[in-house]
Amino acid sequence: MTPTEPHDVPTAAQLVAAVRDFLQTDVLPAVEGRVRFHTRVAVNVLGMVERELELGPAQAAEHAARLAELGVADDAELAAAIRAGRVPDDGPLLDLLEQAVRAKLEVANPGYLAHD
């Protein structure tokens, strides 16, 4: 957290982490069946929100920089440029696509990246 941020601690990511930890540590062991399943889903969703809050701004900036290197402003413009054949399917494009998928996995399910 930087001194210019408008909110005090705990941060949104820290609050989400606290709720996730409570559900995982206290609630999950005490419930069964449908409620247990939905608690596990909630724990996973909160983990995704926490990671997006923490990683999202840097990932967005990096993605925007890679798009700019290809001469496009956003994903829609990139898709149109690919369809029109204006972007070669070489290293820079493949790197952008790989990094975009990697960023999504870092938020959605970083466990998939552990197999690299």
Give pLDDT, residue 35.
98
What pTM value is reported for the model? 0.82
**String of DSSP letters for 86-110:** -S-SSHHHHHHHHHHHHHHHHHH-G
- What's the pLDDT at 19? 98
Q: Over the chain (116 residues), what is each successive 10-residue block's mean pLDDT? A: 71 95 97 98 97 96 97 97 92 95 96 82
Cα separation, 97 vs 95, in Å, equals: 5
